Amino acid sequence: MKKESLGFIGLGVMGHSMCTHLLDAGYPVHVFNRTKSKAEGVLAKGAVWEDSPARVAKAVDIVFTMLGFPQDVEQVYFGENGLFSASHAGECFVDMTTTKPSLSLSIAKRAEELGCQACDAPVSGGDTGAKNATLSIMVGAERSVYERLIPFFRILGKATYEGGPGTGQHTKMSNQIVIAGTMAGMCEALLYARKAGLDEQTMLDTIKTGAAGCWSLDNLAPRVIKGDYEPGFMIDHFVKDMGIALEESKKMGLCLPTLALVQQLYIALQGLNLGKLGTQALVLALDRVSGAGCFKEN
């Protein structure tokens, strides 16, 4: 049986690794990225370069997108040379960007009008999950679409069917709300430990095996201890995600004060031109607020 041909658009910190896994699994992949130089690694592995999203859509059966912001998603799908301008019946579009649930619904509606399929499948796991193919994938789509995509999701990590279009994005918002709280707690704990003169690694090894254990402690706390603020997940993107979650919460009449506070701390880092750092750099904002002088940007 002939393997379905794939497209991949968005070869950033996570998308590059995800595309690489699909290539390594033996699938033909056509790619597009706003900056072509970022595609060099996958092109060396046999990916085929296309000059626009439309050219990708013409060439393949299934297109994966992993982009930055809702406006990027809208342009790639609905723009003059976007995916929908050159789609063909039966084609499937899988947006793995974290974006607005309302945008995912618009994509699903337009895809149906064109005789195509659509799926919102945002992920969690950061650069480590993308590299190790251990991403948690939250899928919103018709059940038949999810079943068509299971073989590809298994290459990238573990997928869970959340429900119809848009539910993947709502699940990702729940995920980001939890992360906002755990990131704040982790960074405050590290600030406290350093100010108290503790051996930070010993402290970390002690508490992560108890009730405080979480992904952030395992993966990001060691980076903070080393002064490594390179992005596994960028502050600018996290501020965007928290903004979407707060917007959706307002629509539902919910008050989420912890989320709002954490977003403001991250916005302060953007104000210091640190938005391209990883989310673990929250410790820098907390350090400045307290005047502790314990952590500094390298």
Asked if 151 and 94 touch (Cβ cutoff 8 Å), the reply is no
Q: Coil, helix or strand for 66?
A: coil
Nearest to 144 by CA among 201, 90, 213: 90
Kindly name the residue from 100, 131, 172, 240 that is annotated as catalytic. 172
The two tokens of residue 201 are 């690694």
Instruction: Give the length of the chain.
Output: 298
Tell me how far apart the alpha carbons of residues 153 and 247 are, in angstroms, rounded to a whole number: 29
How many Cα atoms occupy the beta-carbon half-sphere of 167 within 13 Å? 12
d(C-alpha 104, C-alpha 24), whole Å: 29
100 is catalytic: no
Phi, psi at residue 277, to the nearest 5°? Answer: -75, 170
Instruction: Give the closest residue to 241 by CA, choosing from 101, 51, 136, 62.
Output: 101
**What one-character DSSP code corresponds to residue 279?**
G
- Mind giving me the DSSP string for 164-212? STTHHHHHHHHHHHHHHHHHHHHHHHHHHHHHHT--HHHHHHHHTTTTT
Identify the bridge partners of residue 117 per DSSP, sorted by sequence position.
92
Report the C-alpha gap between 141 and 227 in whole angstroms: 41
Task: Show the tokens assigned to 260.
Answer: 């709002």
The residues carrying an active-site annotation are 172
